Structure 1
Amino acid sequence: MAPFTSQELRKGFASFATGVTVITCIDEEQNPHGITISSFNTVSLEPPLILWSLKKQSRLMPWVEVGKKHLIHVLERSQEDLAMHFATVKQNQFVNISHQLATSGLTQINHCVAYYECETISVHAGGDHNIIVAKVINLKNHPEKAPLIFARSKFIGLDLGEAQPN
């Protein structure tokens, strides 16, 4: 018997504050898809690598396999509605969402804190999820914007005050 329940583990994991991202990708017919992910993590500067995880059964999995490109959006503190919108599966996800087509052909949601255009270089099994390791091939950053944070099952804003960019 496990020393804790899955619900206790979920609550324990919720104590770790994390940024909120939406990842967009395209299918074989160039249709855009997006999903809210809080499992984003930096890995390496040289080469520039990130990782994130996705349920093995996710409908998006075929479109983020090795060699496929995707766009990671770091949400701004006022974009809670976008986080909730992309947290559930729905048709025509980008209707009434402010977005544009990036030069890469990927769908870019407007007004985010940062954007990382990535190409998946490896996928690793991790329990009921796949861990996607991707190389950052393009970057846009808006350090004047405050990121959206998720902790204890709630969204919070991060007040950067007078923080100066490094």
Structure 2
Amino acid sequence: MAQQQEEFKKALGNYPTGVTVVTTFDKENKPIGLTVNSFASVSLDPLLILWSIDKKSKSLEDFMSTEKFAVNILASDQEKLCFLFSSRVVDRFAQCEWQRSVNNLPILANTASILECKNVQQIEAGDHVILIGQVINILNADKAPLLYHQRSVGEIPKTFYQTI
């Protein structure tokens, strides 16, 4: 079993994904957030996305009980935010630039995109919970995304685009 888990991690680690920080307010109205790369589009009609959270996460109950959350798609120059929101730092928002959105969600500054979502469904799946959100607002910037590949974060090399 352990060998299979290692092979699974190796296979998926070789699949590049975008990097996001999912944010909301906790029950005490304090902003919370965590780095997530388990993010995907689900549906165009209605607009649905999904992401997953580890059942051991300290933020699990807050994200499961919240009515709304924001998916902040990090830009290629936001590697520090990726590491900040995956760290054990308690007050992560004190160390970054953010604001309340028109939908009363904590959103990070200078991201590639932001999807503000209504929390519509949760599905238990192994050691994680999948959260499905209906997109209620979209903010886009003309920025390259931050990518995660083989346990590293970075941007798509410009030479990649020249080969297409």
| Residues 114 and 139 in structure 2, CA contact (< 8 A), matched pair in contact too | yes
Which one of the candidate residues 144, 156, 162 is aligned to 1:158? 156
User: What's 2:131 paired with?
Assistant: 132
CA shift for structure 1 position 28? 1.1
The amino acid of 1:156's aligned partner reads G
Q: Which runs of 5+ in 1 are unaligned?
A: none
- Taking the aligned partners of 2:52 and 2:148, their CA distance within structure 1 comes to 16
Q: List aligned pairs for 1:7-156, cutoff 5 A.
A: 7-65=6-64, 68-142=67-141, 144-156=142-154
Moved more, 52-61 or 27-36: 52-61
- Where in structure 2 are there 5+ consecutive unaligned residues? none
How far did residue 157 of structure 1 move?
0.4
Query: How many residues are aligned here?
Result: 160
Supply the AA of the counterpart residue of 1:87. S
Q: Distance in 2 between the 1:119 and 1:88 partners? A: 26
1:67/1:34 CA distance change after superposition, 3 Å: closer
Q: CA RMSD in A?
A: 1.8
User: What is the percent sequence identity of the aligned residues?
Assistant: 31
Q: Aligned equivalents of 1:154 and 1:138: distance in 2?
A: 30
TM-score, reference length from structure 2: 0.90
Displacement, 1:160?
6.4
The answer to which structure has the higher helix fraction is 2
Please identify runs of 4+ aligned residues in structure 1 that moved more than 6 A: none
How far apart are residue 88 of structure 1 and its match? 1.9
Mapped to 2, the partners of 1:3 and 1:34 lie a distance apart of 30
- Asked if 2 retains the 8 angstrom alpha-carbon contact of 1:66 and 1:121, the reply is no
Change (3 A) 1:3 1:108: closer
Encode CA deviations 1:56-90: one digit per residue, 9 max, x unaligned. 12222222226621110000001111001101232
- 1:3 deviates by 9.0
CA distance in 1, matches of 2:138, 2:43: 15
Moved more, 64-73 or 37-46: 64-73
TM-score, normalised to structure 1's length? 0.89
